C-alpha cells in the first residue's frame, strides 16, 4: 500500500491460506466452511486484478499474498494501476472492531495520486465501509465490497479518468 500504517514494519505479507483467522477475528472464524468461503473470496479478489507491479519485479508481495498487521488485528490488500507519472490504487481491508466483540469492519477505497500542495500524497475518490457481526456477515460484506471494487475498476483503470471524475485536473 502506498500509505501503510506507522508500525507497518511489524506487518507481514502472507498467503490467505496461512492467515490465522481465529487469532485475528475470534474463535468463530475457526470453522472449515468459514475458511473455505474466505479463501474463495480472496482468490476471486486476486483473479479480478493484475499482480502488483512490485511483485513482478521481485520487490514486494507475491501475487495473491495479503498484508497481515497483527497488532491492529487487520488484513488488507491492494492493487495498483500505474500510468505515466500517475497511479490508481484499489484497496480492501478487514479488521476487528475492539469495542464490539466478534464484529469486523470491512472497507474498500479507490485512491489516486495527488499533485496538489495541501494534502500531498493521495486522494480517496470513493470508498465503502461495513461493520458486521460474526464471520457469515463479514463474508457477506466482503462479497459486497468486492462487487464495489469491480464496479469502480470496470468504469476505468486509468488514473487520468478518475482524476477528471474527482475534479483534480
Instruction: Please indicate, yes or no, whether the overall pTM of this predicted structure exceeds 0.75.
Output: yes
Query: Looking at residue 38, what is its pLDDT?
Result: 96
DSSP conformation class of 52: P
Task: Judge whether residue 86 has pLDDT over 60.
Answer: yes
Task: Judge whether residue 57 has pLDDT over 90.
Answer: no
Query: Looking at residue 2, what is its pLDDT?
Result: 47
- pLDDT per residue as tens digits for the range 95-143: 998 777 788 999 999 998 876 666 556 788 999 999 998 999 999 999 9
**35 or 86, greater pLDDT:** 35
Taking residues 49-67, what's their average pLDDT?
A: 67
Question: Which residue in the block uniquely carries the three cell numbers 456477515?
Answer: 137
Task: Judge whether residue 1 has pLDDT over 50.
Answer: no
CA distances from 96 to 86, 90, 101, 113 (A): 33, 21, 8, 28
- CA 69 from chain center: how many Å? 12
Report d(CA 90, CA 81) in Å as an integer. Answer: 8
Amino acid at each position: 500500500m502506498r500509505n501503510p500504517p506507522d508500525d507497518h514494519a511489524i506487518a507481514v505479507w502472507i498467503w490467505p491460506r496461512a492467515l490465522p483467522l481465529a487469532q485475528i477475528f475470534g474463535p468463530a472464524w475457526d470453522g472449515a466452511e468459514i475458511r473455505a468461503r474466505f479463501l474463495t473470496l480472496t482468490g476471486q479478489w486476486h483473479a479480478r486484478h493484475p499482480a502488483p507491479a512490485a511483485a513482478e519485479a521481485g520487490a514486494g508481495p507475491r501475487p495473491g499474498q495479503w498484508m497481515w498487521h497483527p497488532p491492529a488485528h487487520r488484513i488488507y490488500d491492494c492493487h495498483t494501476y500505474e500510468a505515466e507519472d500517475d497511479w490508481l490504487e484499489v484497496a480492501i481491508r478487514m479488521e476487528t472492531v475492539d469495542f464490539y466483540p466478534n464484529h469486523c469492519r470491512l472497507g474498500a477505497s479507490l485512491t489516486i495520486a495527488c499533485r496538489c500542495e495541501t494534502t500531498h500524497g493521495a486522494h480517496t475518490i470513493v470508498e465503502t465501509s461495513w461493520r458486521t457481526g460474526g464471520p457469515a456477515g463479514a463474508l457477506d460484506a466482503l462479497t459486497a465490497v468486492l462487487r464495489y471494487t469491480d464496479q469502480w475498476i470496470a468504469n476505468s483503470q486509468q488514473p487520468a479518468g478518475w482524476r477528471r471524475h474527482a475534479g483534480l485536473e
